[in-house]
Amino acid sequence: MVWTEHGHPLQGLTGGGERVEWILPDSFRDGEEHTIYIEMACNGMFGNAPGGDSIQPPDPNKYFRLDRAEIVAVDPDARQLYIDIWIIGDAAREFPEDSWEQHKALKVCNEIIETFELGNRESLKACRKIAEDYIGSNVNSARVYESGKEPVVYGIGHCHIDSCWLWPFAETKRKVARSWSSQCDLMDRYPELNFACSQAQQYKWLKQLYPSVFDRVKKKVVEGRFHPIGGSWVEHDTNMPSGESLVRQFLYGQRFFESNFGKRCQTFWLPDTFGYSSQLPQLCRLAGMTRFLTQKLSWNNINRFPHTTFNWVALDGSQVICHMPPAETYTAEAHFGDVKRSMSQHKSLDQDATSLLVFGKGDGGGGPTWQQIEKLRRCRGISDTVGLLPRVHMGNSVDDFFDRLERKADSFVTWYGELYFELHRGTYTTQAKNKRDNRRSEAVLRDLELLATIASIKDKSYLYPKKDLDDMWESVLLCQFHDCLPGSSIEMAYRESDEMYAEVFKTAEKLFKDISKVLGVAPVQTTTVADGVALNTLPWHRKEVIAISETEAAVACGHGPLLTLRTLKLNNEPLVSLKQASKGVFVLENSQLRVKVEAGVITSLYDRLADREVIPKGRKANQYVIFDDKPLYWQAWDVEVYHLETRKELPSGETKVHEEKTHRVSVVTHTRISDKSSIKTVISLAASIKGQQSYVEVSSEVEWHETMKFLKVEFPVDVRNTEASYETQFGIVRRPTHYNTSWDMAKFEVCSHRFADLSEHDYGVSVLNDSKYGFATAGNTMRLSLLRSAKAPDAHADMGTHTIRWAILPHRGALSHVTVRKAFEFNNPLKLLSKKPTTQESGGRRTGRSNNNNNIPDPFLLLPLSEERPPVYLTEDSSPALILDTVKRGEDDEDVSRGELPAKPGRSVILRIYDSLGGRARGYVATTWHVARVCKVNLLEDELEEVQDEVVVLEEEGGGRSTSSRFAVDLRPFEVATFKLQLASEA
């Protein structure tokens, strides 16, 4: 970066000849002496890897030197001729050899060479005059674009800056300032340059750390030259973040752009991420964006994606226009070939031949250079003078381009569902701790917002902690950047993300202590049943056995956020048993399941209620397998299909009894991976509860010190289906279990969230997990990916100790709400708290009842248990597919707003509900809060329509009555709906 002596940043520089000039400003022409400073970063544009291989771990001992700093006088004719012959020479090389345009280019190049005389400046002018015969006479200015002829290629300057990758987050802050200051300077010299850049986080860094550069950017935004785009906080991964995280990417991004630049983005801009969630079109539209740009699918390593411009449809039927630049890059050098490929590689010419050319130095930053802009001028000159080359145009914005496309949208082809990326499949697994922290932080934020909302309405002296929550969300959203969460950054970046997550969890602990005071509990685990309660943050009735201590267990049951505990009482027979059938062979059994464990694997899983064996005869479930994992190049990113040919089963050691308690039994097995790596596995079965599906839980502690190996665990099941189901954001994606076509085979490793399921129409098996995202189902074998051991770009990725939990959930019937809810519960276990001494038990008590008529005894039937209603909930007659996923305060409530946008009078609560199974889902939302009005809103909390609500009277036990408000919900399959409850003033 070039700085003035007064500490003002002026322009970025990039070594290696990329951007080495800074033009002295007119203010220096004052006869005075001026001092400038050059700030250098100890990395190149693509980090600091040794040996020229950019993805290798950086060299901490590498030094850089500023070789020269000199004042030079540029010969403009020589510089312009250099660009002239560059582009005409490209035409001679790239036009068809049998075309007159190619022969003409050769002829002009020869004439220029023959005319040029070294040292004769007049010959430069003569050479340029010859060049005009091929490129025209207007290439020295933006007038070249004023010929009035219809363009087909629209050039837009761009500077793709990875928020971290081969450099840490800290360096990105400097990259942004260097790159964007350079673009502001370039715009002053080239009036046709329009520049688009995404990522609200990067704008915020600029505003905080380089306010003078931010002011220059704002000025260019007002001029219509610098275009904030994308609408999201960062260019994030879309495979692994939760649905609510994707919502917050848009909410925080759009609010930043609106508050700082006066308008929201219309186009979602995500050129470089590793696959695209099937729910993105719906969320885009709900965030005010109807257009989408990407190009990463051009990297597919098996099938070529068939479209350039098309309508992309989400699971619920929402659609956006998608354009993938046919030059197949978001960092084009603006070569002749880039313009040519914008037509020759265009796959939607029969619908619309136009395309976007996104050019500028990227990944490491920089943006367009003067050479690139000059080259595009000459490409336009060739199109107008000679022809054959697609006509490029400069001066429009991305929105201008999509405005034109929208007029033809009805004629575009349609793509339904996810845009699966046939590369970088290893990113679902690499950097396991980072992924675990992501899952955990998402759950923590959900809980805090729910509880803080309840607390702020229960006690007006409690202030909703908006700033803390914003800070936490911004950190989590930043860590979801598409090279951070996927695991493809250097070790320094993960040290930074570890620190950010640690701060998130530290803040969460502080906030929960504050909330606990309002709720009347102490945030410490109880040691007795009488003094304890269980915290439930899920929006349905829960009934679970929970351990109080090593020797005591209790039953927690109810619908509210605080569940009363009751001592676990036994009937005549044990709730769960553990027997040794023979040496090293154990049988774990409850009223629903019988599990046979032999040498660490499950050789039988018998469903007593369904009278069905889950494991095929002769097969072994919970079998660890290891693969050689040697991708062609991108180590942290890729796992190739040929790795499946190297499968090896890991033999386990002796199985022993681990615990044998009233409510839970388990066995433990140690598995040797190598001299350096091992696994301790605990397989457990808990007491079953009548009316609820039981599952086998597995907890593994892996000591992992391997190189280029991939650890997975397999579950062969006696279920047949050509498709398996995987949880995704706000829904389910079905993918093939066979390799019939190359498109099917390409999905040999896929992304899944909390569960994957293989079901027939009347029976199925789900595999739940607490922190994993990689999965595969081939035939009837389900396979959960656990750990990889890539050595680049982080040489120590995933080395160390990992604790991982998963569960095998057999179920009668097809995939249903049973699996969805169990997956939520597996990731959100009840939390034991202590009552405050003054806290009295509240809420009615009832005798537990079961709607299951099976004759197997239920030891929990006669227990008196708490059933206090939460302040907002879905009524019992609602579709069980409906999920009340988010409860939070309104962004701009007068007691919540931080002032970035105008505050609104009153208090409100935002509810986000979705259909989780893919059918019409109807129900009622009820609340005990006093509600003045209910509105359906979008993700940005703009009101869309008013919803009719009604007051109902509830009969309480003991003859009392209470009232609540309720309103109807009717959702499309996989629809995400957001509602705003405007509270009455007395609420």
In tens, the pLDDT along 463-485 reads 999 999 999 999 999 999 999 99
Angle, alpha carbons 474-476-482 (nearest 5°):
105
Residue 712 predicted with pLDDT over 70: yes
Tell me what pLDDT residue 528 has: 86
Tokens of 835: 């009552």
Tell me what pLDDT residue 739 has: 98
Contact by Cβ (8 Å): 414, 313: yes
Tell me what pLDDT residue 572 has: 66
CA distances to 80, 129, 339, 413, 813 from 347, rounded to whole Å, are 35, 38, 15, 11, 43
Cis check for the bond before 793: say yes or no (omega within 30 of 0): yes
The CATH homologous superfamily of the domain defined by 577-829: Golgi alpha-mannosidase II; domain 4 (2.70.98.30)
Q: pLDDT per residue over 553-600, tens digit each?
A: 999 999 989 999 998 877 667 899 999 999 999 999 999 999 999 999
Count Cβ atoms below 10 Å from residue 489 Cβ, excluding itself.
31
| Amino acid at site 670 | H
Tell me what pLDDT residue 958 has: 59
Tell me what pLDDT residue 860 has: 43
Give the dihedral of Cα atoms 255, 256, 260, 263; nearest 10 deg: -50
Q: Which helix (H) or strand (E) holds 251?
A: helix 243-261
Residue 849 predicted with pLDDT over 50: no
Alpha-carbon distance of 888 to 937, in angstroms, equals 14
Tell me what pLDDT residue 574 has: 84
Residues whose CB is less than 8 angstroms from the CB of residue 8 and which lie 6 or more positions away in sequence, other chains included:
212
Domain residue ranges of the chain, discontinuous segments joined by +? 76-135, 152-421, 433-520, 528-563, 577-829, 868-987
Contact by Cβ (8 Å): 862, 877: no
Q: Which residues pair with 44 in a beta bridge?
A: 47
Tell me what pLDDT residue 552 has: 87
| 863 — pLDDT class (breaks 50, 70, 90) | very low
Tell me what pLDDT residue 954 has: 66
| Pairing mode, strands 800-812 and 763-769 | antiparallel
* Longest CA span, the chain: 109
Residue 859 predicted with pLDDT over 80: no
Nearest to 649 by CA among 631, 667, 622: 622
- For 104-111, the CB contacts below 8 A with 24+ separation are 104/134, 104/386, 105/134, 108/133, 108/134, 109/85
3-class SS letters over 799-837 = CEEEEEEEEEEEEECCCCHHHHHHHHHHHCCCEEEEECC
Tell me what pLDDT residue 857 has: 42
Tell me what pLDDT residue 956 has: 62
Q: pLDDT per residue over 354-409, tens digit each?
A: 999 999 998 877 899 999 999 999 999 999 999 999 999 999 999 999 999 999 99
Determine the 3-state secondary structure of 203 from DSSP: helix
Lowest average pLDDT, out of 775-789, 904-918, 941-955, goes to 941-955
Tell me what pLDDT residue 861 has: 39
Residue 929 predicted with pLDDT over 90: yes
Residue 852 predicted with pLDDT over 70: no
CATH number corresponding to 433-520:
1.20.1270.50
Tell me what pLDDT residue 61 has: 85
How many residues are present in the chain?
Answer: 987
C-alpha dihedral sign at 253, 257, 258, 259: positive
Tell me what pLDDT residue 532 has: 92
Tell me how far the alpha carbon of residue 770 is from its chain's centroid.
17
Distance in angstroms between the alpha carbons of the first and the last residue of the chain: 55
* Percent of the chain scoring above 90 in pLDDT: 87
| 795 — pLDDT class (breaks 50, 70, 90) | very high
Tell me what pLDDT residue 808 has: 99
Over residues 920-931, mean pLDDT: 97
Q: pLDDT per residue over 101-114, tens digit each?
A: 999 999 999 999 99
Tell me what pLDDT residue 842 has: 38
Q: Specify the CATH architecture of the domain 152-421.
A: Alpha-Beta Barrel (3.20)
Residue 910 predicted with pLDDT over 80: yes
Lowest average pLDDT, out of 88-97, 264-273, 829-838, 864-873, goes to 864-873
Contact by Cβ (8 Å): 864, 957: no
Q: Which residues pair with 312 in a beta bridge?
A: 320, 415
pLDDT higher at 478 or 961: 478
Q: pLDDT per residue over 494-510, tens digit each?
A: 999 999 999 999 999 99
Residues whose CB is less than 8 angstroms from the CB of residue 461 and which lie 6 or more positions away in sequence, other chains included:
none
Residue 47 predicted with pLDDT over 90: no
DSSP state of 424: -
Residues whose CB is less than 8 angstroms from the CB of residue 682 and which lie 6 or more positions away in sequence, other chains included:
658, 666, 667, 668, 698, 699, 700
Alpha-carbon distance of 237 to 498, in angstroms, equals 18
C-alpha dihedral sign at 321, 327, 330, 332: negative
Residue 940 predicted with pLDDT over 50: yes
* Percent of the chain scoring above 70 in pLDDT: 95
Of the residues 84, 162, 272, 437, only one is catalytic, namely: 272
| 869 — pLDDT class (breaks 50, 70, 90) | confident
Tell me what pLDDT residue 963 has: 76
For domain 868-987, the question of CATH label 1.25.40 is answered with no
Tell me what pLDDT residue 959 has: 59
Asked, colleague to colleague, whether 433-520 and 577-829 share their fold, the answer is no
Q: For 118-176, give the DSSP string.
A: TT-HHHHHHHHHHHHHHH-S-TTSGGGGGS-PPPSEEEEEE--B-SSSSS-HHHHHHHH
Lowest average pLDDT, out of 67-76, 152-161, 290-299, 429-438, goes to 67-76
Tell me what pLDDT residue 836 has: 78
Tell me what pLDDT residue 64 has: 85
Tell me what pLDDT residue 167 has: 95
Tell me what pLDDT residue 45 has: 76
Alpha-carbon distance of 507 to 496, in angstroms, equals 17
| 839 — pLDDT class (breaks 50, 70, 90) | very low
Residue 602 predicted with pLDDT over 80: yes
Q: What is the mean pLDDT of the chain?
A: 94
Per the annotation, the verdict on 628 as an active-site residue is: no
Alpha-carbon distance of 440 to 505, in angstroms, equals 9
Residue 858 predicted with pLDDT over 50: no
Q: pLDDT per residue over 300-333, tens digit each?
A: 999 999 999 999 999 999 999 999 999 999 999 9
CA distances to 109, 114, 174, 611 from 131, rounded to whole Å, are 8, 13, 41, 85
